Amino acid sequence: METYLRQIPAVDKVLQQEDIKNLVYEYSHQVVVDAIRDVNQNLRNKILNKDIQDDFDVSMYNVVKLVKNRLDKWLQPNLRRVINGTGVVLHTNLGRSLLAKSAQKRLVEVANNYSTLEIDVESGERGSRYEHVTGLLTYLTGAEDSLVVNNNAGAVLLALNTLAKGEEVVISRGQLVEIGGSFRIPEVMEQSGAKLVEVGATNKTHLGDYEAAISDETGLFLRVHTSNYRIVGFSKEVSLQELVNLGHEKGLPVLDDLGSGTLIDFSQYGFSPEPTVQESIETGVDVVTFSGDKLLGGPQAGIIVGKKEYIEKMKKNPLTRALRVDKFTLATLEETLRLYLDFETALEEVPTLRLLTLEPEELEIKAKELAESLDELSNDVKVEVEKGYSQVGGGAFPSESLPTSLVKISVNNLTAEELGDSLRDLNPPLFTRIQSEKVIIDPRTIHEEEIDIIISHFATLIGEGRV
Ligand SMILES: *Cc1c(COP(=O)(O)O)cnc(C)c1O
């Protein structure tokens, strides 16, 4: 034990190694010294705890290697790119939407330069950051006015707080949804200071139920688009149009939380009908909210469109300041919306739309390309291509399955879980699906250039004997 302890190289000796000098140059003296001390302390603890495995090694060569690994782990970005092999297009945990190329350019432009964020160029006077997207949003949706906040959860909170604080909000029981990550309508309602009044049954709500719930305290009707699940079979919901008519007859505003909110009618691409924002506005509804990074394919944002009188009130609510969007969101949202001026352009340029409308034949070619290369790597790697389905994700089109071709991989002597873990351990990490003891890669969410990275990931695992 004593000998081992004495063999641990001294910090200043380690600092003299050529590789370590390079690290000092790349990072800083202090950071490298701290890393060496940390590595040495770990080795010392192992010796003192008699935790000495076969690969225990206190040589200079190994200490340098450990220091390098330590610094790589420390200093690589935590928030970094991954390869999404899951086929879930709007994967909330992997960052939802990818931005269009032209939106990325705008992001760099406003990051590099001062901008017109809150200035009116003509007069030189103070302007509003919210004006930048109002023209496009009102043109594209037919609404009178708009406001953009941090995300749709924030948009719903702000709308409820502005329109119905201290008052009752009537909503159908079938719409009291939870949307992943702890967004529950009853809880948002409570935070907003509005009082929830549930009407109807889980599967059926009639217009009469809403009418019967109206009292002196009623401030608002709320419709939530149950975007992440469907009630099928013996069910009835009141249409937004009926609700708007009743609300306006009784002098009550109506709020529509559309969730994924799309500007394009997806039914022309074989999807089940999903209400568009324009259709919602056409009913005469007072306020509509939806996400920027779901089906729209823009940055994270909560987009509010509707009647000017209500939007004006929201702008004056102090909560708006707390939910404020930054210039990066506004620049990329503006550019994403601009692409929608021509739907054909939007379908080509907005990655979310492009991925959702990829042809099965195209996906099959990509799957086969990947499978053939993987198959050639080693006899221990078994690869098949099978027809299957991708998911939209992000709570949109829950019952929709998009036909794709899946690459199914199994490896001798390794469970699918172990293979999945190893693939996430590489750089960039590869996320896959696991199904019936196989690792599954769906080409839908993989860029063409990422196919080579995936192949080299498998080659690395084989080369290191991990497969
Ligand atoms: C996704 C969703 C939300 C939350 O939107 P975020 O932009 O994620 O905050 C709210 N309501 C509905 C109906 C949704 O689908």
Mean of per-residue pLDDT scores for the chain: 94
Ligand 1 closest atom vs CA 394: 1
- pLDDT the model gives residue 181: 64
pTM above 0.75, yes or no: yes
Strands across the sheet containing 433-435: 381-390, 402-411, 438-441, 433-435
**Phi and psi torsions of 272, nearest 5°:** -70, 150
Measured CA to CA in angstroms, residue 293 lies from 143, 262, 267 at distances of 20, 10, 20
Stretch 398-408: mean pLDDT = 88
Average pLDDT rounded to a whole number, residues 336-351? 97
Residue 350's pLDDT is: 98
> How is the chain split among helix, strand and coil, in percent rounded to 5?
45, 20, 35
Give the residue among 33, 40, 39 at the shortest CA–CA distance from 12: 33
Whether 231 shows a pLDDT value over 70: the answer reads: no
Which residue CA neighbors atom 11 of ligand 1 most closely?
259
pLDDT digits (tens, 9 = 90+) for 23-71: 999 989 999 999 999 999 999 999 999 888 877 899 999 999 999 999 9
Q: Classify 40 in phi/psi space as left (phi over 0), alpha (psi -120 to 50) or beta.
A: alpha
The residue whose CA has the least distance to atom 8 of ligand 1 is 152
The contacts of residue 276 (CB under 8 Å, 6+ apart) are: 262, 263, 264, 265
At 180 the pLDDT is 64
Higher pLDDT, 273 or 402: 402
Residue-by-residue DSSP string for 153-205: HHHHHHHHHHHHTTSEEEEEGGG--EETTTEEHHHHHHHHT-EEEEES-SSB-
pLDDT in tens, 73-86: 888 899 999 999 99
pLDDT digits (tens, 9 = 90+) for 368-400: 999 999 999 999 999 999 999 999 887 777 767
Rounded distance, CA 74 to CA 78, Å?
9
pLDDT digits (tens, 9 = 90+) for 164-193: 999 999 999 999 877 766 688 899 999 999
pLDDT at 228: 60
Q: Report, as an integer, the average pLDDT of 303-320.
A: 98
Structural domains for the chain: 2-73 (no CATH), 83-92+357-463 (3.90.1150.180), 101-349 (3.40.640.10)
Nearest atom in ligand 1 to the alpha carbon of residue 153 is: 9
Residue nearest to atom 14 of ligand 1 (CA): 259
In the three-class reduction of DSSP (H, G, I as helix; E, B as strand; rest coil), residue 277 is classed as: helix
* Residues at CB less than 6 angstroms from ligand 1: 151-153, 156, 179, 183, 224-225, 227-228, 257, 259-260, 291, 302, 395
Which amino acid residue places its CA nearest to atom 15 of ligand 1?
259
Q: DSSP letter string over 291-309? A: ESSSTT-SSS-EEEEE-HH
- Ligand 1 centroid–CA 208 distance in Å is 28
pLDDT at residue 227 is higher than 80:
no
Q: How many CB atoms lie within 10 A of CB 394?
A: 24
